[in-house]
Amino acid sequence: MKETLDFLSTEFTVRDYECDIQGVVNNANYQHYLEHARHEFLISRGISFAQLHDEGIDLIVTRVEIDYKYPLRSRDKFVVRSSVQREGNTRLVFVQDIFRIPDDKLVVNARVTGVATRNGRPVRPGDIVVKMGLD
Amino acid sequence: MKETLDFLSTEFTVRDYECDIQGVVNNANYQHYLEHARHEFLISRGISFAQLHDEGIDLIVTRVEIDYKYPLRSRDKFVVRSSVQREGNTRLVFVQDIFRIPDDKLVVNARVTGVATRNGRPVRPGDIVVKMGLD
Amino acid sequence: MKETLDFLSTEFTVRDYECDIQGVVNNANYQHYLEHARHEFLISRGISFAQLHDEGIDLIVTRVEIDYKYPLRSRDKFVVRSSVQREGNTRLVFVQDIFRIPDDKLVVNARVTGVATRNGRPVRPGDIVVKMGLD
Amino acid sequence: MKETLDFLSTEFTVRDYECDIQGVVNNANYQHYLEHARHEFLISRGISFAQLHDEGIDLIVTRVEIDYKYPLRSRDKFVVRSSVQREGNTRLVFVQDIFRIPDDKLVVNARVTGVATRNGRPVRPGDIVVKMGLD
């Protein structure tokens, strides 16, 4: 397994509509935050979904693991710290942690596994891996 | 202005994740309910977005007016009652009301204006209007 | 009717999960943007929902009018420009416009009416109005 | 580990606003479906969040694992099949699978771990477990 040395930090502020009856961010919304941070990560590496799609390649999520450590509340600021690893020939694993700002309280640990597919079948991520510095 | 005589009633139950910190359904979620009810209405008239799109026609919303009369809460059952009118040559106006079940408490009055477009320009809704019984 | 001279501009970037099958931001999500911008506006005037709630006052939305002029797409940057007016004794009307960045393309015009309530009944907004510079 | 013999099936239909640019249900929305199905499960066992909260007990999710096997699309019907197990003294594990209707295509496998907390500290789920038939 080879891991990139670097990571991307993406900052957010909790919006009130993301909180539920309990006054904390609804569990599903963390997946929205993580997804947005992954897309920012890919873009920072010059990887465009649209361009990949035009080349016949789609990136899809096959597995999500999220540990909820501490809840975010209305107007909390936080950062998603994202890095990526290869796993086997076809899988990419995003390791993503969420920390509250400014006290660095750990909010969420997540592992999100994705594969590159062509016509619905997994393929070696190829060029994507090079752009991510994982080859 | 000609109005269809009939309407469609679509039933829902409030899901907890649709409620916000105040313990009531977040205002934006009523638009989700209304949208789903309009799509059910169109399908009940044999109108398919996908087929229209293949024929080069897109239905888009140009204006929404919503009066919030009474809030829905966790697990409330409710019905969206939808009908449609023509307005001018190109506009369709959906009149949609939401009532709580079983006490028929009025929750929302809404008017949603849409137009049929081809290549981004409004066109007479034509066949759509016939299917809706509005010609 | 008296209007504040100033307004608040709140910047956003479209996140992919806010877009729907048509590749544009789903209509309901504009209400999320507008709500977040109104809350930012209130906070910029020193008005806290939590503090008001502790004083027995709740601010609720009674009517929304939105004109959709041009759709936002994935990763578009945009600004919500919010100002507020009084209307009668109890109503506050937020006038909110959305413009795409950087070309200032008009995306949405909105008018959102709210009232201050105590025990579910409208009251004069009082101190809120003073803080907004509307007295 | 003891498992209840029975499970609850909750039926849904995909709403268009739950789909994203790729034309499939956005990954985060499956968590919404799973949450709603768990709440239905608890209610079917006579367990009320509100009543628990009044007794000082909160049920919170500490970990989610979701395997995405096949995507749902606009208007697909599906069922969430939920059962529950005990794990150790304080944890409850919901095993939840999503199948498309009517062809029983497997869409999602999920394991959602929760704990009962009092004042933010895990407690034995006690009465909850009895009601679930897990004692």
Chain segment D25-50, per-residue pLDDT in tens: 999 999 999 999 999 999 998 887 77
Put simply, whether A77 touches C (Cβ < 8 Å) is: no
pLDDT surpassing 70 at residue A3: no
3-state secondary structure of C4: coil
pLDDT bracket for residue B1 (50, 70, 90):
very low
Q: Do B64 and C66 touch (CB under 8 A)?
A: yes
pLDDT bracket for residue A1 (50, 70, 90):
very low
Q: Do D21 and C19 touch (CB under 8 A)?
A: yes
Task: Report in angstroms the alpha-carbon separations of A121 from A57, A90, C38.
Answer: 10, 10, 46
Q: Are B81 and B22 in contact (CB under 8 A)?
A: no
- Write down the pTM of the prediction: 0.93
If one counts every other C-beta atom within 10 angstroms of the C-beta of residue B88, the result is 11
Put simply, whether C31 touches D (Cβ < 8 Å) is: no
pLDDT surpassing 90 at residue A50: no
In terms of phi and psi (left: phi > 0; alpha: psi -120 to 50; beta: otherwise), the region of D127 is: alpha
| Segments of chain D with pLDDT less than 50 | 1-3
Distance of alpha carbon C43 from alpha carbon C36, whole angstroms: 11
Query: Does residue D97 carry a catalytic annotation?
Result: no
Residue located via tokens 């709440």: D39
Encode pLDDT of B37-61 as tens digits.
999 999 998 887 777 877 888 889 9
ipTM: 0.91
More reliable by pLDDT, B133 or C92: C92
Q: Do D68 and A61 touch (CB under 8 A)?
A: yes
Distance of alpha carbon A37 from alpha carbon A80, whole angstroms: 7
B118-126 — which CB contacts under 8 Å span 24+ positions?
B118/B56, B118/B57, B118/B58, B119/B56, B122/B90, B123/B57, B123/B90, B124/B89, B124/B90, B125/B86, B125/B90, B125/B92
pLDDT surpassing 70 at residue B83: yes
Residues linked to residue B121 through DSSP beta bridges, in sequence order: B118
Q: How confident is the model at residue D1, as a pLDDT?
A: 42
Q: How confident is the model at residue C4, as a pLDDT?
A: 52
> What dihedral do alpha carbons B19, B21, B24, B26 form, nearest 10°?
-60
pLDDT surpassing 90 at residue A2: no
Distance of alpha carbon C17 from alpha carbon B132, whole angstroms: 32
Kindly name the residue from B20, B67, B104, B135 that is annotated as catalytic: B20
Q: How confident is the model at residue A113, as a pLDDT?
A: 97
Share of chain A above pLDDT 70, in %: 95
pLDDT surpassing 70 at residue A116: yes
Averaged pLDDT for residues A110-131: 84
Q: CA C56 from chain center: how many Å?
A: 22
More reliable by pLDDT, A34 or B49: A34
Encode pLDDT of B20-40 as tens digits.
888 899 999 999 999 999 999
Average pLDDT, chain C: 89
3-state secondary structure of A18: helix
Token digits for B70?
């009474």
- Please confirm whether the linkage preceding A102 is cis (ω < 30° from 0): yes
Put simply, whether C21 touches A (Cβ < 8 Å) is: no
